[in-house]
Amino acid sequence: MIYALLDGTNQIDLPHLEAALSVWEFCEASAKHIFGDLIGEPLADEILRSLRGVGPEGMTRTDLHRLFNRHQTSASIGAALGILMAAGMVRREQRTRNRSMETGGRPVEVWVAT
């Protein structure tokens, strides 16, 4: 509507919509350039940096608790992982350990950056 008004018309046409879309895309690109792909939630951002640092090996929940010297609750780590997973930035894998195969133990949950 603003671009139609600036054009002095009372009808919104395709060029006005395209101009608005261009401004939106510019704003989005600027924010990504300034902030990267950070989520904006400090715990989630720190987990993402760490997962990217370890690569495809990923990290278990125990590894994540150690990352924060056990100063974060399981619930807060879980919430941060949920945010990252919803954003498509991490995935959860179930992996069996060699020891688990021998003893019938359960698989381990591993988180990996995508």
Residues 108, 56, 59, 42, Cα dihedral to 10°: -140
Q: What's the pLDDT at 100?
A: 46
pTM here is 0.67
Would you give per-residue pLDDT tens digits along the chain (114 residues)? 999 999 999 999 999 999 999 999 999 999 888 888 788 899 999 999 999 999 999 999 999 999 999 899 999 999 999 999 999 999 999 998 765 455 567 889 999 999
48 vs 41: CA distance, rounded Å? 11
